[in-house]
Amino acid sequence: MSLTLDSQSSRGTDKPAVAADTAQAPFTLQGRTALVTGSGRGIGRAIAKRLAAAGANVMLNDMDEGLLLEAEADLKHPDRVRHITGDLTDPSTPKAVVDAVLGAFGSIDIIVNNAGYSWDSVIQKTTDEQFQAMLDIHLVTPFRILRAASEYIRETAKSESASGRRVMRKVVNITSIAATDGNPGQSGYSSGKAGVIGLTKTLAKEWGRYNVNVNAVGFGLIETRLAQPLNGDNANLQMHGHEIRLGVQPTMLEAMKNSCPLGRLGTPDEAAGAVLFFCSPLSDYVTGEVLICGGGMHF
């Protein structure tokens, strides 16, 4: 294992609402600590950026140290942002990452299980290794991270309850419309993403007693390297000795855009907005749910 850690509205009055009041943010995450996996680029970085802007401490995680350094600088909150590199599919890494969050900030209040990639083939061409790789990153990894965080979450919630306090914590697992609808060529990816929905609903029932909201956000086509037009210039993904081709055939991508009611791909920042809702006090009475952020598109 290779792991590196870096250090009120107005009512009943004829007077208009005061501008300063209406401009107030609906919530703050100041004093809260978030772990966002797969946050070196794309949706993960956009999620981390939203959380940091809302006042949270943020631990970034990815496999690429260079990307994490770029992301850390992009978030512009050096006093509240740290990063840790490591391959989350290594069985020992998830616990090491959780321990690093607790070591750096002393708490963990928000967990966003975002890390993932696609390795696609029709079923007759899908190897056991390929299928298992999709389960490992999309389902086994979130399971291990949540298991590693469970002791802190349980013991802290018990202590808070004993002192008469209720502190809501948040888990957001990232899934996909490939999980809810299925998608040709993605038996492994769809299975892993469907599995995490089951994990989400189970943990919502197990952890409700600890004041944890556990929800999932399922994305459609978002403007990331996984949804770029496939051509000879694409940068492929190097993973465990395999070169994985990234992107979508241009004709297929155009057909998907046309089938989307909004007629376009979503942006990483739009995707992050859906996640931010589940990380915020606005969702304190929402748990065990799957929010689809896909522009109305279904496969």
Enumerate the active-site residues: 189
Among the listed residues 249, 114, 112, 128, the one whose alpha carbon sits nearest the alpha carbon of residue 188: 128
Q: Judge whether 54 and 27 are in contact, CB under 8 Å.
A: yes
* H or E element at residue 127: none
- Measured over the CA atoms of residue 50, residue 215, residue 98 and residue 40, the dihedral's sign is negative
Q: What are the angstrom distances between the C-alpha of 273 and each of 189, 193, 266?
A: 23, 20, 11
As a whole number of angstroms, the distance between CA 203 and CA 169 comes to 13
Q: Report CA dihedral (195, 200, 203, 205) to the nearest 10 degrees.
A: -110
* H or E element at residue 178: helix 177-181
Q: Which residues of 56-91 are buried (b: 16+ CB within 10 A; e: fewer)?
A: bbbbbbbbebebbeebbeebebeebbbbbbbbbbee
Q: Judge whether 54 and 280 are in contact, CB under 8 Å.
A: yes
CA angle at 38 for the pair 33 and 39, rounded to the nearest 5°? 60
Q: How many residues does the chain have?
A: 299
